[in-house]
Structure 1
């Protein structure tokens, strides 16, 4: 995998074989950050990366100037690799080995962007629980955004605070924001185009 923009643009990161991960593809990642770039200035954004895996998304935020970044995963090998990579690149990433739900239940910090990439094979209720815990526990800042990566077999547009979704190949990104009195983006949630 490679870092697609920022200070370390083009740098390749090679995780060890055998980690229980399915990294977000470079194409999907580039599309995701194109969307986020229209909403945020990355400098100084506080980031939470759930089910962080290899740390792929965390490194991209770090390269673009976001800090601090918290990467949470339940696998010891993944957390060890993220710590090693963060030290090598001097990234402001704190890697935490924890069950994601236990982390969210105890979390008393709020973040500007929360990204979650649970394993695609998990039951839909798991994806829904991640979203509900974040909003119930006020873990997302009022002007922030949460993104869930999932397959086409999981539908999340029925949840509170759903904003819109984008589809790239076999992956879907569902975006959540605090609801406002302003016009919503409900018309966008069927958009399967790859334009940005």
Structure 2
């Protein structure tokens, strides 16, 4: 896993072979961040990385200048790996929450400029996540939500949907909340 651009550009982190999480591919990550350049300026933004997995997106967000990134990951080993990666780069502006994303969202009392959600593709609740994020009010007006999902999911009829991007087997639905 590598950081694509920014202050940590080129940094590589070896993911343990025992991990269940699959990081967003470098190809897909680079392309979706290129698209996002037209939606948001990450410099100084507050971001939320749901189902953080390996921490690949959190690292990318910090590298691109986010003021703070909150990474939510339930798996103990994955959370430990994210913590180790943050220590290696000396990041002080990543808040790691080891816990359930659904409980976190329902109890969260703050808003973010950018939210990235990459749930396991087989998660039964996957289709409900974009609506839950908007219902919980965690995205700031003018904010952007990127939702990574498999090819069998369709979100274009949901409120706030803007566009769909596909890179190989990786699909992204982009949502915005108007100001």
Q: How does 1:125-144 map to 2 (within 5 A)?
A: 126-144=125-143
Q: Does 1:105 align with 2:116?
A: no
Structure with higher RCO (Cα < 8 A, 6+ apart) = 2
Distance 1:37 1:163 in 2: 14
Indicate the SS of the match to 1:152.
coil
> How far off is 1:122 after superposition?
2.1
Q: Does 1:156 align with 2:155?
A: yes
TM-score (norm 1): 0.87
- Please, which runs of 5 or more residues in structure 1 have no aligned partner? 181-196
Residues 151-177 of structure 1 show CA distances to partners (whole Å, capped at 9, x for unaligned) of 111111122211111111111100111
Which residue does 1:39 correspond to in 2? 39
Which structure's CA Rg is the greater one?
1
Distance 2:160 2:108 in 1: 20
CA contact (8 A) 1:71 1:93 kept: yes
Distance 1:104 1:7 in 2: 30
> How far off is 1:39 after superposition?
2.0
Aligned CA RMSD, in angstroms, stands at 1.2
TM-score (norm 2): 0.95
> How far off is 1:33 after superposition?
0.7
Distance 1:140 1:15 in 2: 30
- Please, which runs of 5 or more residues in structure 2 have no aligned partner? none
